[in-house]
Amino acid sequence: DAGVTQSPTHLIKTRGQHVTLRCSPISGHKSVSWYQQVLGQGPQFIFQYYEKEERGRGNFPDRFSARQFPNYSSELNVNALLLGDSALYLCASSFGPPGEQYFGPGTRLTVT
């Protein structure tokens, strides 16, 4: 079975630009969470979606937004990129909101 997939793998953007990251959960999983991992740190929670509804939001500015589609895939959008947004963005899926979370390989975003 395919695991969590994310696209693109790598991305380079300029300050002020906008970026969209995509995630496909494990088949049958209805919950998707997004995390930001800065080099040398643990992942930090950004959003959680379950059945297309936002269930949780971490301490991130309004420049970050997300949504979940009817097929349970998800997008993370970041507007007005800052240098500090450079990080590995991870998507995790689980069957239900409090379940075991399985991570994708991440999207490495570099903002120059």
Partner 1 sequence: QQQVKQSPQSLIVQKGGIPIINCAYENTAFDYFPWYQQFPGKGPALLIAIRPDVSEKKEGRFTISFNKSAKQFSLHIMDSQPGDSATYFCAANYGGSQGNLIFGKGTKLSVKP
The residue ranges that bind partner 1 (CB under 8 A) are: 4, 31, 33, 35, 40-45, 48, 50, 55-56, 58, 90, 92, 94, 96-106
Give min distance, CB of 100 to partner 1, in A: 6
Q: What is the DSSP secondary-structure string of 37-74?
A: E-TTS--EEEEEEETTEEEEE-S--TTEEEEE-TTS-E
95 DSSP assignment: S
* Token output for 76: 């993370």
Shortest spacing between CB 16 and partner 1, in angstroms? 28
For the bound state, the minimum distance from the C-beta of residue 91 to partner 1, rounded and expressed in Å, comes to: 8
Closest CA to 24 of 108, 105, 109: 105
Nearer to partner 1, 16 or 96 (CB): 96
Nearer to partner 1, 14 or 59 (CB): 59
